[in-house]
């Protein structure tokens, strides 16, 4: 049986892994642990060893579904630990455009949906145009977001040579929901720090889950400027028997 590609900081030291992955992780870490990095939850989790990692070779995505299932099981076992899974995509030989990385991201999300062994859960709308839509895998609602080297203005979205896809199960946001006071205060604090770091206003598509005027999918891969995302969602949930 293949070794799991769900990695923590200790297993990364013990495993023979691609050299590009180590370089990408080191670049990621050097950004995230900075004292003024806007997401203090992410900074703390990285320093405490609570994050999980994996990597995605260009030519083989086959292990990603299993890795994501293992991660979701881990978060269900200890839901009070606000874990995130960060998947490092094998870097391009030459940096590509933001649209290239955007398409790549949505191709990965669609692949995960196709490989999902379970039906789309009844608790979440499958239509991305519904304001309560969320990406789902293994019957779990997940917030996913992309970081890519092509981001130039939104520096918080550039975490090194790799595109880095973050997966955060909604279970970790309990107590930080949209209308919860703790959630409102936490989001406001993070967004103020993001604007200070990026030196550009908050993206117009950024809101909170449950806002009837917002589309969750648009937050997954925002633009590098202040232009709203136009057009329809590239993702379409596959209906399964």
pLDDT, tens only, 7-35: 999 999 999 999 999 999 999 999 999 98
- HSE-CB at 73 with a 13 A cutoff on CA atoms is 7
Dihedral, 6, 62, 69, 33 alpha carbons, nearest 10: 40
- For residue 22, the surrounding DSSP H or E stretch is helix 19-32
Would you tell me how many other CB atoms lie within 10 Å of the CB of residue 65?
A: 18
Cβ–Cβ < 8 Å for 158, 166: no
Query: CA-CA distance, 147 to 164, in Å (whole number)?
Result: 5
Cβ–Cβ < 8 Å for 152, 174: no
Average pLDDT, the chain: 91
Go through the chain and tell me how many residues it has. Answer: 241
Query: How many percent of the chain have pLDDT more than 70?
Result: 93
- For residue 44, the surrounding DSSP H or E stretch is helix 40-48
Separation in Å, CA 211 to CA 45, 130, 167, 183 = 27, 10, 21, 13
Query: CA-CA distance, 216 to 17, in Å (whole number)?
Result: 34
* pLDDT at residue 161, as a whole number: 98
Q: Where are the beta strands (DSSP E) in 139-198?
A: 140-147, 164-169
* pLDDT at residue 2, as a whole number: 78
Confidence of residue 209 (pLDDT cuts 50, 70, 90): confident
Over residues 74-120, the pLDDT tens digits come to 998 886 677 899 999 999 999 999 999 999 999 999 999 999 999 99
Considering only CA atoms, which of 33, 137, 22, 152 is closest in space to residue 90? 22
pLDDT, average across residues 48-73: 96
Higher pLDDT, 168 or 196: 168
Over residues 217-230, the pLDDT tens digits come to 999 999 999 999 99
Provide the residue ranges of all domains of the chain, joining segments of one domain with +.
9-118+131-219
* pLDDT at residue 191, as a whole number: 80
Over residues 1-11, the pLDDT tens digits come to 678 999 999 99
* pLDDT at residue 76, as a whole number: 87
Confidence of residue 187 (pLDDT cuts 50, 70, 90): low
């Amino acid at each position: 049986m293949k070794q799991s590609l769900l990695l923590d900081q200790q297993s990364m030291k013990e495993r023979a892994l691609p050299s590009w992955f180590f370089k990408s992780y080191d670049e990621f870490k050097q950004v995230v642990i900075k004292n003024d990095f806007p997401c203090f939850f992410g900074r703390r989790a990285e320093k405490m060893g609570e994050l999980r990692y994996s990597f995605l070779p260009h030519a083989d995505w086959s292990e990603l579904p299993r890795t994501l299932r293992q991660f979701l099981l881990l978060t269900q076992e200890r839901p009070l630990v606000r874990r995130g899974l960060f998947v490092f995509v094998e870097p391009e030989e030459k940096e590509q455009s933001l649209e290239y990385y955007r398409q790549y991201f949505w191709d990965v999300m669609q692949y995960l949906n196709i490989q999902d062994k379970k039906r789309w859960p009844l608790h979440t709308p499958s239509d991305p145009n519904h304001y309560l839509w969320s990406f789902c895998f293994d019957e779990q609602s997940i917030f996913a977001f992309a970081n890519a080297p092509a981001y130039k203005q939104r520096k918080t979205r550039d975490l090194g040579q790799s595109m880095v896809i973050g997966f955060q199960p909604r279970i970790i946001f309990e107590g930080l929901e949209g209308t919860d006071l703790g959630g409102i205060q936490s989001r406001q604090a993070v967004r103020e720090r993001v604007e200070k770091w990026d030196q550009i206003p908050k993206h117009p598509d950024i809101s909170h889950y449950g806002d009837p005027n917002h589309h969750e999918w648009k937050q997954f891969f925002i633009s590098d400027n202040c232009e709203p995302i136009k057009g329809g969602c590239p993702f379409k949930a596959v209906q399964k028997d």
